[in-house]
């Protein structure tokens, strides 16, 4: 026991000693080891590496001298510095430390190009103490923009003053950067100085000046900004004068200078036209609605007299900015007197969007208006405001021949929901117009209103084909087990293809809740009492399984073309893989259906839930009976997806096929399997791959050939390889 303890201590000491030795890396080595692992594969690894890098302390001083000018090989160094900056930006304590490191190395950088990179990194961690370092680069044409961005990020009085102090001596792009920075910082003491640059010929400078003044939002700037927008004809142009003036008004509003906003917005509204200056006029109207309260009601109502639909729609939208009974009253007065149907419909739509409950009686009255647009708008608005209270009036409004009205009502009723809608709709069906009946039946179907199935069955007797078809389709969503017999009777007498399909779906729906064996038994009984057994084959296809297949195969043996066709269609549509064998037999032995049976067989084999080896066997059977090139081509493409070794060999046999399409399908099948399975190798595989490379004619053949050659080069040598080591001694071994 003592020996074990001693041995354990020796091992532990040895391990600790070993660890201590490995921990004796130099500072430079530690940094280099981390840098070599960049960029990191994921966020977790990134945080780990950056934490280790930061823990070394003041590493930017070590990294910065290794930075190179553009074109140099310093990508990992840049990853390290930018990564550390982003890592530090999330914690205030780390930000200050990394900012200090950056400010130390920036003046020592070898070039302005490198300083620019370092200043960009400083943006993310800069603190007030960084201002002094950054300020010295405001007079540098190359670095001014980066320096301004750092100061904007700092965002305090010291940063803003530093930019302002540099402005008098600046010109060109430096001047633009400085003015823009002051604008972003909203440094109002700079307003007069910046205003002095207005009116020049340099469009970029003017744009920046107007932007900055718009951000300061002081009353003294209004005249200059307005005149600039006026000079631009209140249109958008390169100096963005109109945008600047609108921004100015918005910033005035944010700074609570509401009376000025109202006054200046009215001036802009009066000076512009909705026909040629709609952006400016719409913006002015919005600011009036925000700043003038109830006093803006008249302006919004006046806007509704415009011939411009976009302007009217904007005005109606802005009514939401005024939460006052006066706004609703003015809108209602306008709607009552409005002679233009289009405008009346627009106001009604807004009542719905605003949720003006008081407007419901007026809207309900408009459901019978002679104008279709007004009626549509009223249906939608009534649904939004009245909900269940509006169901009956909407149903009544739908009893017309106009498809648009019916469709609008259908969508609105569908959106209301609830049991009241179902009962009201069901009650309305018997007296409804044919178009409305179809819509009502569709709604019941979408709700799966099983308790109203009797109403639907009543409409199956309609002499209107659209109504009858709608009722059959509704049954496919609403039918239950007890409805199977009645649906079967309808199916037995159906002749229209669309109606037959709908009833087949309905019959299956009625038995779908039963176990598969019981579904087959129930359906078999119904078929035997029906007039036309062939109509049941597609329902058996939905059931699936071996027992149902036997019933359908009886139809294939009938000496009756209609039965044969119906049975074959069922096999094509079969639910599961149980019909695969039957389809193969038909493809092999029945010339009439051979081609379609072959295609269906391959499709079902591809989707069958079977092992890849079994799928390959089924596909090889298809190749044995394939008579046409396109059939072989389709099967070979599926062979490639099996990923099996035998699949590779199978496809290889078709590399010499005389048909180009077949040959190229074989090439792709070989390529796909081989590249995905490096465990397939040997002389036989090598021969097949070489052949595939030789005959490949694909549009990307060269790329594909190179991929296969690279793949082959990585494969183990062929079954004649001799080991250099015999496992016993060094006999035959030749050292370097």
Q: How far apart, in whole angstroms, are the C-alpha atoms of residue 604 and residue 583?
A: 10
Neighbours of 261 (CB within 10 A): 24
* Residue of higher predicted confidence among 266 and 11: 266
Q: How far apart, in whole angstroms, are the C-alpha atoms of residue 275 and residue 278?
A: 6
Q: Is the pLDDT of residue 7 over 80?
A: no
Q: What is the pLDDT of residues 245-274, one digit of tens each?
A: 999 999 999 999 999 999 999 999 999 999
Q: In a 10 Å sphere around its CB, with 0-12 CB exposed, 13-18 middle and 19+ buried, how is residue 179 labelled?
A: buried
Q: How far apart, in whole angstroms, are the C-alpha atoms of residue 380 and residue 410?
A: 10
Q: What is the pLDDT of residues 194-243, one digit of tens each?
A: 999 998 889 999 999 999 999 999 999 999 999 999 999 999 999 999 99
Q: What is the pLDDT of residues 488-511, one digit of tens each?
A: 999 999 999 999 999 999 999 999
Q: Is the pLDDT of residue 731 over 80?
A: no
Tell me what pLDDT residue 18 has: 45
pLDDT band at residue 23 under the 50/70/90 scheme: low
The sign of the dihedral angle between the CA atoms of 204, 205, 208, 210 is: negative
Q: What is the pLDDT of residues 81-91, one digit of tens each?
A: 999 999 999 99
Per the prediction, the chain carries an average pLDDT of 92
Task: Give 718's DSSP letter.
Answer: P
pLDDT band at residue 719 under the 50/70/90 scheme: confident
Tell me what pLDDT residue 718 has: 55
> Would you put residue 336 in left (φ > 0), alpha (ψ -120 to 50) or beta?
alpha
Q: What is the separation, in whole angstroms, between the first and last Cα of the chain? A: 48
Q: Is the pLDDT of residue 655 over 50?
A: yes
Q: How far apart, in whole angstroms, are the C-alpha atoms of residue 638 and residue 665?
A: 10
Query: Is residue 193 within 8 Å of 181, Cβ to Cβ?
Result: no
Q: How far apart, in whole angstroms, are the C-alpha atoms of residue 268 and residue 242?
A: 10
Q: Nearest CA to 691 among 679, 703, 674?
A: 674
Q: Nearest CA to 695 among 677, 714, 675, 668?
A: 668
Coil, strand or helix at 699:
coil
% of the chain with per-residue pLDDT over 70: 94
Q: How far apart, in whole angstroms, are the C-alpha atoms of residue 104 and residue 83?
A: 18
* Residue of higher predicted confidence among 304 and 730: 304
The sign of the dihedral angle between the CA atoms of 373, 374, 380, 384 is: positive
State the pTM of this model: 0.76
Q: What is the 3-state secondary structure (H, E, C) of 268-326?
A: HHHHCCCCCCHHHHHHHHHHHHHHCHHHHHHHHHHHCCCCCHHHHHHHHHHHHHCCCHH
Contacts of 671 (CB under 8 A, 6+ apart): 640, 692, 696, 704, 707, 708
Q: How far apart, in whole angstroms, are the C-alpha atoms of residue 556 and residue 571?
A: 10
Coil, strand or helix at 713:
helix
Q: Is the pLDDT of residue 730 over 60?
A: no
Q: In a 10 Å sphere around its CB, with 0-12 CB exposed, 13-18 middle and 19+ buried, how is residue 185 labelled?
A: buried
Q: How far apart, in whole angstroms, are the C-alpha atoms of residue 680 and residue 708?
A: 13
Q: What is the pLDDT of residues 575-608, one digit of tens each?
A: 999 999 999 999 999 999 999 999 999 999 999 9
Q: Which of 114-118, 448-452, 525-529, 714-718 has the lowest mean pLDDT?
A: 714-718
Q: How far apart, in whole angstroms, are the C-alpha atoms of residue 485 and residue 56?
A: 83
Q: Nearest CA to 265 among 296, 248, 288?
A: 288
The gap from C-alpha 357 to its chain's centroid, in whole angstroms, comes to: 37
- The alpha helices in 42-111, defined as continuous H runs, are 43-56, 60-63, 75-88, 92-105
% of the chain with per-residue pLDDT over 90: 90
Q: What is the pLDDT of residues 362-377, one digit of tens each?
A: 999 999 999 999 999 9
**Average pLDDT score over residue span 379-407:** 95
Coil, strand or helix at 723:
coil
Q: Is the pLDDT of residue 22 over 60?
A: no
Q: Nearest CA to 153 among 81, 102, 211, 111?
A: 102
Q: In a 10 Å sphere around its CB, with 0-12 CB exposed, 13-18 middle and 19+ buried, how is residue 255 labelled?
A: middle
Query: Is residue 404 within 8 Å of 433, Cβ to Cβ?
Result: no
Q: Nearest CA to 249 among 273, 295, 272, 218?
A: 218
Query: Is residue 143 within 8 Å of 170, Cβ to Cβ?
Result: no
Q: How far apart, in whole angstroms, are the C-alpha atoms of residue 56 and residue 30?
A: 8
**Average pLDDT score over residue span 537-547:** 96
Q: How far apart, in whole angstroms, are the C-alpha atoms of residue 435 and residue 646?
A: 61
Contacts of 599 (CB under 8 A, 6+ apart): 631, 634
Q: How far apart, in whole angstroms, are the C-alpha atoms of residue 377 and residue 65?
A: 71
Tell me what pLDDT residue 732 has: 53
Q: How far apart, in whole angstroms, are the C-alpha atoms of residue 91 and residue 628?
A: 70
Q: What is the pLDDT of residues 53-62, one digit of tens each?
A: 999 999 999 9
CA angle 652, 654, 656 (to 5 degrees): 105
| Residue whose tokens read 């084999």 | 605
DSSP code per residue over 5-26: HHHHHHHHHHHHHHHHHHT---
Taking the C-alpha atoms of 346, 352, 356 and 358 in order, what is their torsion angle to the nearest 10 degrees? 90
Q: What is the pLDDT of residues 276-292, one digit of tens each?
A: 999 999 999 999 999 99
Q: How far apart, in whole angstroms, are the C-alpha atoms of residue 96 and residue 77?
A: 21
Q: Nearest CA to 217 among 172, 262, 250, 180?
A: 250
């Amino acid at each position: 026991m003592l020996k074990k303890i001693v041995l354990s201590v020796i091992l532990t000491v040895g391990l600790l000693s070993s660890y201590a030795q490995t921990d004796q890396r130099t500072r430079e080595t530690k940094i280099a080891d981390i840098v070599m692992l960049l960029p990191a594969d994921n966020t977790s690894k990134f945080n780990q590496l950056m934490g280790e890098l930061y823990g070394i302390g003041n590493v930017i001083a070590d990294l910065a001298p290794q930075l190179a000018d553009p074109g140099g090989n310093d990508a990992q160094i840049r990853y390290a510095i930018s990564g550390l900056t982003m890592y530090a930006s999330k914690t205030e304590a780390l930000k200050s430390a990394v900012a200090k490191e950056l400010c130390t190395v920036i003046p020592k950088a070898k070039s302005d190009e490198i300083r620019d990179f370092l200043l960009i990194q400083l943006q993310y961690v800069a603190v007030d103490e960084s201002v002094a370092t950054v300020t010295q680069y405001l007079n540098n044409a190359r670095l001014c923009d980066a320096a301004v961005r750092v100061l904007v990020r700092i965002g305090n009085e010291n940063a803003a003053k530093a930019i302002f102090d540099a402005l008098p001596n600046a010109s060109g792009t430096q001047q633009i950067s400085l003015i823009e920075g002051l604008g972003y910082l909203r440094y109002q003491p700079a307003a007069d100085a910046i205003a002095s640059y207005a009116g020049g010929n340099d469009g970029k400078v003017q744009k920046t000046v107007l932007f900055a003044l718009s951000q300061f939002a002081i009353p003294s700037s209004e005249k200059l900004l307005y005149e600039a927008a006026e000079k631009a004809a209140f249109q958008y142009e390169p100096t963005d004068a109109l945008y600047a003036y609108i921004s100015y008004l918005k910033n005035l509003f944010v700074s609570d200078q509401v009376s000025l906003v109202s006054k200046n917005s009215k001036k802009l509204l009066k000076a512009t036209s909705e026909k040629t200056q709609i952006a400016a006029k719409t913006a002015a109207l919005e600011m009036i609605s925000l700043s003038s309260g109830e006093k803006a009601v008249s302006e919004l109502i006046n806007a509704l007299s415009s011939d411009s639909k976009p302007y009217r729609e904007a005005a109606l939208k802005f009514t939401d900015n005024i939460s006052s009974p006066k706004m609703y009253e003015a809108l209602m007065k306008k709607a009552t007197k409005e002679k233009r149907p289009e405008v009346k419909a627009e106001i009604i739509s807004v009542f719905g969007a605003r949720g003006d409950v008081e407007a419901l009686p007026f809207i309900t009255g408009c459901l019978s208006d002679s104008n279709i647009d007004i009626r549509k708008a009223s249906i939608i608005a009534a649904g939004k405001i009245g909900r269940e209270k509006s169901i009956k009036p909407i149903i009544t409004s739908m009893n017309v021949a106009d498809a648009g009205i019916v469709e609008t009502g259908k969508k609105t009723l569908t959106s209301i929901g609830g049991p009241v809608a179902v009962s009201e709709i069901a009650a309305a069906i018997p007296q409804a117009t044919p178009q409305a009946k179809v819509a009502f039946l569709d709604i019941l179907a979408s709700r799966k209103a099983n308790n109203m199935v009797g109403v639907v069955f009543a409409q199956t007797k309609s002499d209107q084909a659209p109504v009858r078809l709608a009722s059959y389709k509704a049954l496919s969503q609403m039918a239950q087990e007890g409805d199977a017999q009645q649906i079967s009777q309808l199916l037995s007498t159906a002749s229209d293809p669309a109606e037959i399909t709908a009833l087949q779906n309905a019959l299956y729906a009625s038995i779908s809740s039963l176990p598969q064996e019981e579904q087959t038994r129930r359906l078999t009984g119904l078929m035997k009492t029906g007039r036309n057994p062939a109509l049941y084959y597609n329902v058996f296809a939905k059931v699936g399984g071996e027992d149902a297949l036997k019933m359908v195969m009886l139809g294939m043996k009938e000496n009756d073309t209609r039965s044969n066709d119906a049975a074959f269609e069922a096999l094509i549509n079969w639910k599961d893989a149980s019909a695969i064998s039957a389809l193969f037999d038909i493809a092999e032995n029945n010339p009439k259906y051979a081609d379609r049976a072959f295609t269906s067989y391959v499709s079902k084999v591809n989707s069958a839930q079977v092992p890849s080896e079994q799928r390959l066997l089924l596909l090889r059977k298809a190749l044995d009976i394939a008579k046409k090139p396109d059939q072989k081509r389709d099967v070979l493409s599926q062979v490639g997806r099996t990923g099996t070794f035998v699949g590779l060999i199978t496809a290889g046999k078709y590399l010499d096929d005389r048909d180009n399409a077949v040959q190229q399908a074989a090439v792709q099948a070989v390529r796909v399997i081989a590249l995905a399975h490096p465990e397939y190798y040997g002389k036989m595989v090598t021969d097949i791959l070489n052949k595939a490379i030789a005959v490949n004619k694909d549009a990307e053949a060269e790329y594909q050939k190179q991929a296969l050659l690279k793949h082959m080069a990585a494969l183990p040598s062929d079954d004649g390889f001799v080991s250099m080591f015999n496992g016993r001694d060094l006999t035959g071994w030749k050292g370097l």
